[in-house]
């Protein structure tokens, strides 16, 4: 017997052989600590990432998760998890935080616009980067009435309008693409709604209609140059 100091709790103990822990509890604690240290190594993390990203591993995971008994187990577990009051509150807070972020609002609106075009078998390639491009071209102002598209506290108030509405039944409907999206203020967008732009401009803006339409046409042409 050799007297040693436990590597976990620092208590003295009589060691048998090469043991450096005084009990099964300390032995388990030391083992877990070493595992955490090993997994925290950069090379270990990189190996784990490569293994998870391999086609074989993805195929195994997909096959496992598609088993009927595994799907049933996941549904049962999630139903119980989501029914707990603290988890309901946590999920509600997460959703509120997510949807109040401006970038997430934009992303969801653009995704919805693309989906509407896709349902009508129309082009649907508009992106959040193209939205920023349109705002930059019009200097952060409405493409029709030139009012600023930011509220008093700086928050954005942009309505991304389909210049040719998705409801238009012609074969030349461009869909949800950058060459058919213009940034409008809420007033102009709600007024225009699903109107043909030429008719709506003449009705609302009269003699100014030609100038406004020319400016927007110029923007669309600039995208192809």
pLDDT tens for 110-165 read 999 999 999 999 999 999 999 999 999 999 999 999 999 886 655 678 899 999 99
Single out the residue of 179, 76, 176 nearest to residue 125, CA to CA: 176
Question: What pTM does this model have?
Answer: 0.60
- DSSP three-state, residue 161: strand
Q: Are residues 94 and 176 in the same domain?
A: no
Q: Are residues 209 and 124 in the same domain?
A: yes
Rounded to 10 degrees, the C-alpha dihedral 60/63/67/71 comes to 80
Q: Are residues 81 and 189 in the same domain?
A: no
* Neighbour-count burial of 181, counting CB atoms closer than 10 A to its CB (0-12 exposed, 13-18 middle, 19+ buried): buried
Token pair 């090379």 is found at 43
Contact present, 179 and 204 (Cβ < 8 Å): no
Per-residue model confidence (pLDDT) at position 13: 83
For residue 109, being part of any structural domain is answered with yes
- 154 secondary structure, DSSP code: S
Per-residue model confidence (pLDDT) at position 1: 67
Contact present, 126 and 110 (Cβ < 8 Å): yes
| 181 strand-pairing partners | 162
For residue 71, being part of any structural domain is answered with yes
Q: Are residues 83 and 69 in the same domain?
A: yes
The neighbour count for residue 188, using CB atoms within 10 Å, is: 21
For residue 58, being part of any structural domain is answered with no
Q: Are residues 117 and 96 in the same domain?
A: no
Instruction: Indicate the residue among 77, 100, 123 that finishes a domain.
Output: 100
For residue 138, being part of any structural domain is answered with yes
Contact present, 163 and 143 (Cβ < 8 Å): no
For residue 38, being part of any structural domain is answered with no
Q: Are residues 77 and 117 in the same domain?
A: no
Per-residue model confidence (pLDDT) at position 44: 93
17 dihedral zone (left: phi>0; alpha: psi -120 to 50; beta): left
Q: Are residues 75 and 122 in the same domain?
A: no
For residue 54, being part of any structural domain is answered with no
Q: Are residues 93 and 109 in the same domain?
A: no
Single out the residue of 216, 185, 188 nearest to residue 200, CA to CA: 188
Within 13 A of 109's CA, how many CA atoms are on the CB side? 17
Contact present, 197 and 188 (Cβ < 8 Å): no
For residue 3, being part of any structural domain is answered with no
Q: Are residues 115 and 190 in the same domain?
A: yes
Instruction: Indicate the residue among 100, 115, 145 that finishes a domain.
Output: 100
- DSSP three-state, residue 136: helix
Q: Are residues 211 and 194 in the same domain?
A: yes
For residue 67, being part of any structural domain is answered with yes
Q: Are residues 145 and 201 in the same domain?
A: yes
Question: Containing H/E element for 15?
Answer: strand 12-15
Single out the residue of 40, 198, 224, 128 nearest to residue 48, CA to CA: 40
All residue ranges of the chain with pLDDT < 70 are 1, 151-155
Helix %, strand %, coil % for the chain, to 5? Answer: 60, 10, 30
Considering only the C-alpha atoms of the chain, give the largest distance between any 2 of them, rounded to a whole number of Å. 103
Q: How far is CA 126 from the centre of its chain?
A: 15
Q: Print the domain residue range for 94.
A: 63-100
Per-residue model confidence (pLDDT) at position 154: 57
Count of domains observed in the chain: 2
Q: Are residues 166 and 211 in the same domain?
A: yes
């Amino acid at each position: 017997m050799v007297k040693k100091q436990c590597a976990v709790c620092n208590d003295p103990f009589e060691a048998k052989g090469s043991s450096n822990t005084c009990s099964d509890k300390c032995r388990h604690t030391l083992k877990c600590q070493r595992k955490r240290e090993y997994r925290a190594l950069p090379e270990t993390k990189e190996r784990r990432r490569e293994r998870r990203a391999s086609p074989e591993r993805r195929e195994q995971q997909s096959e496992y998760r598609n088993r009927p008994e595994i799907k049933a187990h996941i549904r049962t577990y999630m139903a119980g998890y989501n029914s707990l009051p603290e988890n309901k509150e946590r999920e509600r807070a997460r959703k509120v935080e997510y949807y109040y972020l401006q970038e997430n609002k934009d992303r969801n609106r653009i995704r919805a616009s693309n989906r509407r075009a896709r349902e009508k078998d129309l082009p649907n390639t508009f992106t959040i980067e193209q939205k920023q491009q349109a705002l930059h071209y019009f200097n952060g102002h409405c493409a029709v009435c030139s009012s600023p598209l930011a509220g008093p506290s700086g928050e954005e108030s942009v309505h991304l309008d389909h210049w040719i509405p998705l409801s238009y039944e012609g074969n030349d409907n461009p869909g949800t693409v950058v060459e058919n999206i213009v940034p409008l203020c809420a007033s102009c967008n709600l007024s225009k709604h699903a109107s043909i732009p030429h008719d709506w401009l003449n009705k609302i803006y009269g003699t100014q209609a030609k100038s406004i339409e020319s400016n927007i046409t110029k923007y669309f042409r600039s995208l192809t140059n």
